[in-house]
Structure 1
Amino acid sequence: MKVTIDNITLDVEPGTTIMQAARMIGPEVAPPAMCYYEPLQGSGGKCRACLVKVTAGSEKDPRPMPKLVPACITAVQDGMIVENTVNEAVLETRKGIVEFLLLNHPLDCPVCDQAGECHLQDFSFEHGVSSTRTVEERNTFEPVDLGENIKLNMNRCILCYRCVYTADQITDGRVHGVMNRGDHAEISTYIEKAIDNDFSGNVIDVCPVGALTDKTYRFKSRVWFSKPMDAHCSCDKCSGNVTLWYRGEEVIRVTGRKNQWGELKEFICNTCRFDRKKTSDWVIEGPTEVSRHSVISANKYGANMIRPAFPIAQAARDFKQIDDNRDRSFLENKSILPAKK
């Protein structure tokens, strides 16, 4: 099938979604995703972050779809034409989606361990606004321990269901899910059970925000101060392919390896994640490849790091140019300007 996305035409197999087709082109065209997670069957269709405009349904029926559609669960048709980054209605709608996701989300970025690799940060950075229109109190929850190594901060949860799908599909006997309905909905365990199966730690990796965090790593370091290295070991439970995060010579955390979309390539067991924190436990393969636009690349690529356009546009919109007509000698006396030699 032929599909055109943002004026780029490509051939795809029948059954391919708009999201999958856009990802074939690259990150500059692919819609953002907060709930969609390709390795998890049934994920997607909840956060509405990936809404796109279909201006032509197919070659046989070229009429546009009347409303924006979620790219992650909408299959392409032969001759379909899709607008994502080139459509103003799509970009304006995403500002509204960001606003909805942040209605109850706390401003925890300065203390949140997910800062620097948070998909909601990226989403709001690219499509959000710097002001808020709400004055109501936010829904608040107390932090909860979901077992020995997992901490749940429900205040940060956006109900993407990724952790629920992960527990359903890679573990036996899921003991947590979404409780209650509407604005009372929350992630919780059934009758206060602990999540203690061998692959429970993967819910940390799939969480797009800082709702589920690693208790062995909490408050130890910022992600941009750590050094990721690819490594593997001989494990009888999982593939043993992981990313080690170093602070100096210390392994401060272990995660599964992720692709350019932030999705796990393979799920890893809790033994590899929580118990093997020594370099001697692993065979080091080399530095992890990090996208240069990521904050993790800070202080690693120097002048070659790509500067996002959003903060520049925000500064131009929210701050005015300095028009200082004061005498230069006054500024020099106040040490605001260096004295002329």
Structure 2
Amino acid sequence: METTAPQLFKITFDGIEIEVPPGTTIMQAARKIAEADPTKMHLAPPAMCYYEPLKGSGGKCRACLVKVSAGSAKDPRPMPKLVPSCITTVQDGMIVENTTNEAVVETRKGIVEFLLLNHPLDCPVCDQAGECHLQDFAFEHGRVQTRYEEDRRTFEKQDIGPYVQLHMTRCILCYRCVFTADQITNKRVHGVMNRGDHAEISTYIEKAIDNDFSGNVIDVCPVGALTDKTYRFKNRVWFTKPVDAHCDCEKCSGKVTLWYRGDEVIRVTARKNEWGEVKEFICNTCRFERKKTSDWTIEGPMKVARYSVIMANKYRADLKKPEFGLKVAASQYKQIDDSRPFVTDNSTIRELSKENNAKANQRSLAENN
């Protein structure tokens, strides 16, 4: 009996053609392009509420809006409004514009403003700094200055369990933690209370979140609203060394990432993919109670695929200049002349330092004379 090949839809995303199965969302198609060619990671729309492992997530933050300039080959009319790519499925012949569309770029600036309306600018003291998706989103798509002058809503910090602290002031109501508790535990005791501007994540009558997988709400939070109480204020993430490890665990897969400060394991998290999404959820025993190297079998340094400051860790000697950051800074501030060589050799660095010091001394003498 002959088997027929599955039907594939051909779509064009920012001028790049790709074939995907029916039912694929625009977001998933864009990520397939990026996964096939890592140099095109920037083409994938940002996601603040969408989380592929969680059913029902997406469609809330509007960070991933794109322009569909042709609905399909049968009906090539453009969609009248921008659509959320995380919940919009592709059609055969669809043409999608993301970074190439000015309306999309301007709309994302507005989305950043709305997300930051009540969000405190406390990145210097936030444990999520360096891993924060909102930080990345604001840097890549936000405006240089804020226009908001009103009072922000604030909440008191709240311990919602023995290991998790809720800082509701930072929450952007993405619902990821709610979906996580719904889908991997049988005892969800927290959710979204109230409506509109008064909506907040909370537990019922101050009840604590206490189950074997409660710590996973920390990993899925895109901002610093849910933090690990055992790790708070211990270290900056870019000063740590993440390594992949595993152990035999009866409750979960036991596959984790250990975060080292020197020889000390200061944090244990679930492994994440290039989109910052958890691959396999882990139990609280692995996350909070196994903080010794002897508890684990070390596999090697974690491969940091997602664009992040953690990539600055010195696993490679051939680090490149952050071209994207330089371009953004040059366009928003003043033209940058960065023709200096980017070197990692210590002897060359010392020679350049001596040369720069000599030039500075000459300028100082000339000014004094």
Shorter-chain TM band: over 0.9
Cα pair 2:241 2:313 within 8 Å, conserved: no
Cα pair 1:292 1:306 within 8 Å, conserved: no
For 1:45, give the aligned amino acid: G
> 1:42 is matched with which residue?
56
Verify: 1:10 aligned to 2:24, yes or no. Answer: no
Given the superposition, is the C-alpha separation of residues 41 and 67 from structure 1 closer, same or farther in structure 2, using an over 3 Å criterion? same
Cα pair 2:276 2:306 within 8 Å, conserved: no
Given the superposition, is the C-alpha separation of residues 179 and 305 from structure 1 closer, same or farther in structure 2, using an over 3 Å criterion? farther
> 2:80 is matched with which residue?
66
Identity of matched residues, %: 74
> 1:309 is matched with which residue?
324
Cα pair 2:273 2:305 within 8 Å, conserved: no
2:92 to 75, 78, 83: 78
For 2:75, give the aligned amino acid: D
> 2:141 is matched with which residue?
127
> 1:297 is matched with which residue?
311
Pairing 1:269-284 to 2, within 5 Å after superposition: 269-284=283-298
> 2:169 is matched with which residue?
155
Shift of 1:130: 1.8
Given the superposition, is the C-alpha separation of residues 24 and 306 from structure 1 closer, same or farther in structure 2, using an over 3 Å criterion? farther
> 2:342 is matched with which residue?
none
More helix by share: 2
SS at match of 1:28: helix
> 1:234 is matched with which residue?
248
Cα pair 1:54 1:80 within 8 Å, conserved: yes
Verify: 1:337 aligned to 2:351, yes or no. Answer: no
TM-score normalized by the length of structure 1: 0.93
Shift of 1:318: 3.4
After superposing the two structures, state which structure 1 stretch, 300-309 or 280-289, moved more: 300-309
Given the superposition, is the C-alpha separation of residues 124 and 311 from structure 1 closer, same or farther in structure 2, using an over 3 Å criterion? farther
TM-score normalized by the length of structure 2: 0.86
**Which stretches of structure 1, 4 residues or longer, exceed 6 Å deviation after superposition?**
none
Pairing 1:103-118 to 2, within 5 Å after superposition: 103-118=117-132
Shift of 1:309: 2.8
> 2:281 is matched with which residue?
267
Verify: 1:247 aligned to 2:261, yes or no. Answer: yes
Given the superposition, is the C-alpha separation of residues 22 and 201 from structure 1 closer, same or farther in structure 2, using an over 3 Å criterion? same
Cα pair 1:292 1:305 within 8 Å, conserved: no
Aligned equivalents of 1:307, 1:321: Cα separation in 2: 13
Verify: 1:22 aligned to 2:30, yes or no. Answer: yes
Count of residue pairs brought into register by the alignment? 330
> 1:327 is matched with which residue?
none
> 1:33 is matched with which residue?
47
Q: Where in structure 2 are there 5+ consecutive unaligned residues?
A: 1-8, 35-40, 338-357
SS at match of 1:55: strand
